[in-house]
Amino acid sequence: MHPVLIIQGFLAPTLTNYLLKNRLQRAGFTAEDVPIEGLNAGDIRDSARVVEMAVNAMRVRTGAKKVDLIGISMGGLIGLHYLRKLGGDDFVRRFIAIGTPFNGTHFARLMKAFTFGRAPGAEQMIPGSDFLRDLHDHTDEHKTEIFSLHTSADAFVSEKAATMDKVELVKSPHGAWPVGHYTPLFLKEDFAIIKDILTR
């Protein structure tokens, strides 16, 4: 098994990863949080630098050539930026994005207002943002296997927003609207899907 790093979502402390991380550890994985400080509301590009440092540190500690990465919601955009813009594609074997708005989400406009415009991550998730245009200005073939886990019960990120070329869309039938955006972190059925992807 490859070691696993987990990137939390927008306005979420690393504590929100606890159950997923604990289940991975009990299943025999070396699993750790990416140590993004606070509530992960800052610039996605800065957070991707933290991912870069966390991946390098885990590779040194474990001796693994590559790690697996899980990004939750905005954490998936952080992970994708790391892969595409910081050379992470060479060091990540599989990347699972859970409820990630690859194409943006209009819910981010509400989050921008809620944070009084002081959360760069919210603005970067708005459809058509400069950040998203730059992120998708990418033509190279990925070495990393990328999966997008999405549930139709997600009230914040649509299936269209979670879909991207050359990314395997994994549809979860679990969860209940409108809280489906969060249920993959807690439901055993969704953990089984995540584990299956990591152990293929």
List pLDDT tens digits, range 155-171: 999 999 999 999 999 99
Identify the CATH number of the domain in which residue 74 sits: 3.40.50.1820
- In terms of Cβ atoms closer than 10 Å to its own Cβ (0-12, 13-18, 19+), residue 140 is exposed
What was the pLDDT predicted at 51?
98
pLDDT in tens, 131-153: 999 999 999 999 999 999 999 99
Tell me which amino acid residue 68 is. Answer: D
pTM: 0.97
Specify the amino acid at residue 4. Answer: V
Residue showing tokens 């690393």: 14
Within a 10 A sphere around the Cβ of 139, how many other Cβ atoms?
Answer: 5
Q: Which residues of the chain have pLDDT under 70?
A: none
Q: How far apart are CA 38 and CA 57, in angstroms?
A: 20
The token pair at 46 is 């800065």
Count how many domains the chain has: 1
Q: Which range of residues forms the domain containing residue 98?
A: 4-199
Specify the pLDDT at position 38. Answer: 87
Contact 76, 102 (CB under 8 A): yes
